[in-house]
Amino acid sequence: MYVGSSTIRDLRPILAQMERLSIWEGRSHVDPVKAQQKVYNLNKGVESLSKEEHGLFFDAMQRLGLPNEVKLAAVALYLDFKGRPIGEYNSDHKNLEIFLIASVSLAAKAMGDLRTDHEFESKMFVGREKLADAEERIIKSFGVQDSIILFPDLVSQLTKRQIESMAEGFAERGLVRSDEREELVRRSYDYLDAAVEKGLGPKMSYRGRAAGVMLKAVRDLGLQVSEMDIARGAGFDKRSMATNAYVINALLKDSST
């Protein structure tokens, strides 16, 4: 796979969407000059991808059956991360492969393409906890340079994709029926919206949010899905999930759907 300058024109809609989500600037207003400069910088960056990086992107797209739009968004996300101090550090330590895969995972969710974590784990041969950690490092990197702040809409979208992914995984394992899966997703969405309205801040990871609201939804619906199932589905250990669930439950203490 080669993504050269002729492909950059195709990246502009992706970059525009990312601008609207404030990945790049952290605010709704977009400076056209700065946006154009980012396209130019991306042009230079894409052409600087190594042969190995091109190969990894191509392999991920083929293994996961993802559309070209996700690939382009993932490349933009990966290059942005790679140019930050944390990306440069991991580049020096030859540890960027997991962040490339995590960029694909985040881009797929942000673009609305649902892939379960199990698919990434099995087809890309990566541990779920390691993938979750890399995703969070990428997301947090947006807030440490040039006053870039992750826009809440993106976190919300990623959380909802994670909820759908986890529910689909439970259905595939026979833990919930199709109708139960749909109700689990709906109830989790409702609890997520209610938690945000009551002050759930951006500090909690999107996976933590998904696990917390889903645990409450599972209990309220009386489904036979264990805490460990939810923790594993979110890429957490049971203790970490319990911490997130405590925060969610405190916010939703008087909520019922």
User: What is the reported pLDDT for 115?
Assistant: 65
- Confidence label for 88 from pLDDT (cuts 50, 70 and 90): confident
pLDDT higher than threshold 60 for residue 102 = yes
Task: Kindly tell me if the per-residue pLDDT of 229 is higher than 60.
Answer: yes
* Candidates 3.40.50.720, 1.10.472.10, 3.30.420.40, 3.20.20.140; CATH matching 152-251: 1.10.472.10
Please, what is the angle between helix 206-221 and helix 227-234, to 10°? 150
Higher pLDDT, 84 or 175: 175
CA 117 to chain centre: 11
Could you tell me the pLDDT band of residue 5, with boundaries at 50, 70 and 90?
Answer: very low
H or E element, residue 20: helix 5-20
Average pLDDT, the chain: 76
User: Which pLDDT value is given to residue 145?
Assistant: 43
Residue 24 pLDDT: 40
Task: Provide the residue ranges of all domains of the chain, joining segments of one domain with +.
Answer: 5-141, 152-251
pLDDT value for 191? 94
The pLDDT of 214-228, averaged and rounded, is 94
Tell me what the mean pLDDT of segment 37-56 comes to: 65
pLDDT tens track for 151-210: 567 778 788 989 998 999 999 999 999 999 999 999 999 999 999 898 887 678 888 899
Query: What pLDDT, on the 0 to 100 scale, is given for residue 128?
Result: 76
- What's the mean pLDDT in 121-143? 79
pLDDT of residue 158: 84
The predicted pLDDT at position 8 comes to 35
Q: What is the mean pLDDT of residues 27-46?
A: 48
CATH code, residues 5-141:
1.10.472
84 pLDDT band, cuts 50/70/90, is confident
Q: How far apart are CA 97 and CA 40, in angstroms?
A: 25
Instruction: Kindly indicate the confidence band of residue 110, based on its pLDDT and cuts at 50, 70 and 90.
Output: confident
How far is 174 from 182, CA to CA, in rounded Å?
A: 14
Asked if 5-141 and 152-251 have one fold, the answer is yes
**3 state SS of 60:** helix
Close Cβ partners of 217 (under 8 Å, ≥ 6 residues apart): 184, 187, 188, 191
Reported confidence tier of residue 138, pLDDT bands at 50, 70, 90: confident
* pLDDT reported for residue 154: 72
| Per-residue pLDDT at 135 exceeds 60 | yes
Report residue 203: phi and psi, to 5°: -65, -35
- Report the pLDDT value the prediction gives residue 14, as an integer from 0 to 100: 46
Question: Is residue 90's pLDDT more than 60?
Answer: yes
Alpha carbons 72 and 76: distance in angstroms, whole number: 6
